[in-house]
Amino acid sequence: MWASDNVGGEALEKLVIEGGAVLKGTVRVHGAKNAALPILAATVMAEGVHTIENVPPLLDIKVMADILRSIGCTVDIREGRVTVDTSRADTPHIPEELMQRMRSSIFLMGPLLARFGRVELYQPGGCAIGERKIDLHLKGLELLGARIEQTQGRIVCRAERLVGTDIFLGIPSVGATENIMMAAVGAEGVTRIINAAREPEIQDLQNFLNRMGARVSGAGTDTITIQGVRELRPCTYRVIPDRIVAGTLMIAAAVTRGEVTLEDVCPDHLTALTHVLRQAGVQITSGDAIMNVRCSRRPGMIERIVTAPYPSFPTDLQAQMMVLLSLADGLSIVKETVFDGRFKHVHELTRMGADIRVDCGSAFIRGVPRLYGTTVEATDLRAGAALVIAGLVAQGTTIVEKVHHIDRGYDRIEDMFGRLGARIERLEPAPGAT
Ligand code: UD1
């Protein structure tokens, strides 16, 4: 079942959390949204029926399915398995309304250009975490030979043929690396992406493209080499576990001083977080696709965490980590270097009693003995997850509003934490409420 289907009503949904539960138990981590989205977009590059497994039932995945349908694909979603029949895909045009619904709609640009030699779309929807340009995506496609016209938000890319070349990325952007990789599979000759992003989701996309018959190597390092191929075939592929969901659970286990075992997790993808949590005094053991996180005392401060591209500390876990540091013993500093607007949770955490000051892109967090429940607003996906963790440990009741942001990345977060002993409930809006 989808986390939320009705965007209007869902915007009014709230989570009500009674603080004080100690998380205990075992939980399976769902598939990675950020891997599944580009992989689903890449299916359009090979005609036929693809089966993508371990796809999380999230709002963003549903939007991607709607986009694929809008270009003529048939998409069926059932229990974590998405079947995409791309044989009737016949239009490289994505309507503005769908582009506005999700930034990841931009992932269709490279695949559609590779398949049709043309793509027409719009600037993707905005985001609350800061400026998110697509200049590197466009520049990369231009270097492969695409001609790009932009008028009032509408983007038209055309290329009779794409030709491989060296592309240097000024910033190791995840999305730009993925878009260029996908387009380059359909180019003649060899493309090298230099200063590529190294995130595990990029390796997953490489593995999927190769399963379809592409020749891509180097994902996970800063240089990715793509030998263009003439033809691709549809395939079956299983998406990697979601490292950000896993990280959120690890932090929540530590903050509540509980003990949680994560199954279907990739410990190697969580090295930066594991390192920092251990420094704070959290006990972590890991095995093959399993991790155990235990914390029995107040976490210690961390002198400095700097978010940066993988394998450094992920920006997508910065807000959640800040909850732990808000309760740690001493003064910690968190510097956000990836997105410029990613401290919106600070205001809400402060309202719950946290002592945080933001100055020049860094947050200075002086640990307090406890947080207090109140009504707070999820301003974006990961900020929302952080507020839920804060609610789990706060004294009293916390109400988290604008839950639809959280639903974009967590499959019913209240059930995930509820199974571990949290007292958390979703309040649906009264019928007729607007
Ligand atoms: C992806 C993830 C997101 C994560 C982010 C950073 C997906 C679907 N989303 O987003 O969860 O927070 O990586 O790990 O995978 N930039 C430019 N020009 C561009 C592209 C990016 O200046 O053309 C800048 C951005 O503004 C940002 C930085 O590069 O400051 C990193 O962004 P990027 O790695 O592209 O993030 P996304 O792919 O959007």
pLDDT value, residue 2: 40
Q: Give the binding-site residues of ligand 1, using a 6 Å CB cut-off.
A: 34, 37, 104, 131-137, 171, 173-176, 197, 201, 315-316, 338-339
Percentage of the residues of the chain whose pLDDT score is greater than 90: 89
Residue numbers annotated as active site? 127
pLDDT value, residue 433: 60
DSSP letters spanning 222-259: SEEEEE--S-----EEEPPB-HHHHHHHHHHHHHTT-E
pLDDT value, residue 4: 39
User: Which residue's CA lies nearest to atom 32 of ligand 1?
Assistant: 173
Q: Which parts of the chain have pLDDT scores under 50?
A: 1-7
Nearest atom in ligand 1 to 136's CA: 23
Virtual torsion, Cα 393, 398, 403, 409, nearest 10 deg = 0
pLDDT value, residue 368: 98
pLDDT value, residue 126: 60
Q: How far is CA 35 from CA 108, 110, 253, 406, 421, in A?
A: 14, 16, 25, 18, 29
pLDDT value, residue 236: 98
User: Which residue's CA lies nearest to atom 38 of ligand 1?
Assistant: 175
**Given ligand 1 and candidates 131, 138, 338, 380, which is best to mutate, with the most ligand atoms within 8 Å of its CB?**
338
- Count CB atoms within 10 A of the CB of residue 301: 16
User: Which residue's CA lies nearest to atom 8 of ligand 1?
Assistant: 34
pLDDT value, residue 205: 98
* Cα distance between residue 182 and residue 54, in whole Å: 21
Based on DSSP, count helices (H) and strands (E) in the chain, helices before strands. Answer: 15, 23
pLDDT value, residue 132: 78
Ligand 1 centroid to 281 CA: how many Å? 31
pLDDT value, residue 10: 62
Half-sphere exposure of 135 (CA within 13 A, CB side): 7
Ligand 1 centroid to 132 CA: how many Å? 7
Angle, in degrees to the nearest 10, between helices 318-326 and 243-255:
10
